[in-house]
Structure 1
C-alpha cells in the first residue's frame, strides 16, 4: 500500500489516529470533493482562493482566465502553495456542547504551481474537470474554440507532499454524561443533485440528456 512520506508539514499531530497517508485514500477524497481552497502568500499577506479542481494521476489541475491576476502570479513566480479539500459527512451531536464535532474527510497538499503548456494536457485536464463536475457532460457540449483555449490558463500541482484527516462514528462523551436525558448521534450530510432546472432560453424540443436523469 503506497503512502505519502510524513513530513513536518503533513504530519497529523492533533489526534494523530485520524491521520491518513495512504495514496489511494487521499486520491479518493480529492476525486470526490468538488471544490478546494488554494492558499499562498504575497508580500507577507495571506491569500486563499476557493475554486474547482480535478486530479489526473499524481497532479492536481486548476484553471482560470489568462487575465486572472493570481493565476498569472502563480504561473510566473511559482510560490509554494497549500491546497485543501474537505467533504463533510455528518454533524456529530454529543450530550455536551464541548464534545460536538463533525464527521469529515479532508486533504491538504503542499506543492508548487507549474503552467501547463502542452495542448493535449490542457485539453485532457479540462475534459476531466468538466466530467467531474457533471459526468457525461463533455461529450454533449460544444468544445472550446481556439480563442477560448487561448483565454484559458491551466496550472498543475504535483502531489508529492500530502495527508488526509478523517473522522467517523458517533460522539465521544464523558463517561458521566452517557446517563443524561439528551439525544445524541449523527446527522448525516451529503451533496445531493436535484432535478435539473432548464434554462428559460432553452431551445424548444431539446430533451433532458440521460446523464442528468
Structure 2
C-alpha cells in the first residue's frame, strides 16, 4: 500500500491544484469523518448521483485498500455499477467563508473522489466483515451488539467494493481572499462561520422495555459533542 496518493489523469486536480492533498492520510481523514458518500453511476444512459453509507479498510483486498458500500439487491444503481466505472465522492463542509464581495465568498471543505469498477462482495467472511464495518463506521462498537444477519437479510442486500487506488483529495481552509481595495475600504465584515455535525441526545424507541438503558457505545458517540 502506498503512503501517497497517486492520481491518474482522471483524478488529477486541475483547477486550484494547490488545494490537492498528496498524502493518503488525507484520504483517510475524509473517509473517517464522512458518513455519506455520493455514488455516481450511469443508468439507462443517464447519470444518477445517489447517497449511500460506506466504510473502508486501508488493508482491504483491493489495491491500496477497499471502500465498501451496500444497498438493496433491487437497486438499479448497485445492479448496474459493476459493469462500469463509478465515482464516489465524500465531502465535509467545515465552514462558511464570508468575504467583502459576493465573488470571493467560499466554503472551507475537505473532499475525496474515488473512481473504480466495483466488484460484488460474495465471499461470506468478507461480506460479513464489510457489513460490520459499515455499521461501526456510523456508530463505533455497534456491530458486536447486534444479532447476526439472517439469510433473508443477506439475500436482500448487495455489498460492493471499490479499490482506493484511484483517488484524489482536495481541501480549502482559511479566511477570505479579498481584493486589496475591498480590505482597505474597511466597511464590510469578513470572516469564517465554522460548521460541525454533532450528535444529539439519544431518543429511545417507544417499543424498547423501559428498563433498557442507552448502551455505552451510543453514550460514547454522544459524548463526542462535549
TM-score, with length taken from structure 2: 0.89
Q: Check conservation: 2:43, 2:80, Cα contact below 8 A.
A: no
Q: Which residue of 1 aligns with 2:52?
A: 51
Aligned residues: 211
Q: CA deviation at 1:4?
A: 2.3
Partner SS, residue 170 of structure 1: coil
Q: CA deviation at 1:152?
A: 1.3
**Matching of residue 120 in structure 1 with residue 125 in structure 2:** yes
Q: Which residue of 2 aligns with 1:70?
A: 77
Q: Which residue of 2 aligns with 1:23?
A: 24
TM-score, with length taken from structure 1: 0.94
Runs of 4 or more, structure 1, over 4 Å off, are none
Given the alignment, which residue of 205, 208, 212 partners 1:206?
A: 212
Deviations along 1:17-66, one digit per CA (max 9) or x if unpaired, are 10113212112211211001111223431111111111112111111112
**Matching of residue 61 in structure 1 with residue 68 in structure 2:** yes
Q: Which residue of 1 aligns with 2:188?
A: 182
CA RMSD of aligned residues (A): 1.4
**Matching of residue 151 in structure 1 with residue 161 in structure 2:** no
Bigger Cα displacement from structure 2, 61-70 vs 89-98? 61-70
Q: Whole-Å Cα distance in 1 between the matches of residues 144 and 8 of structure 2?
A: 41
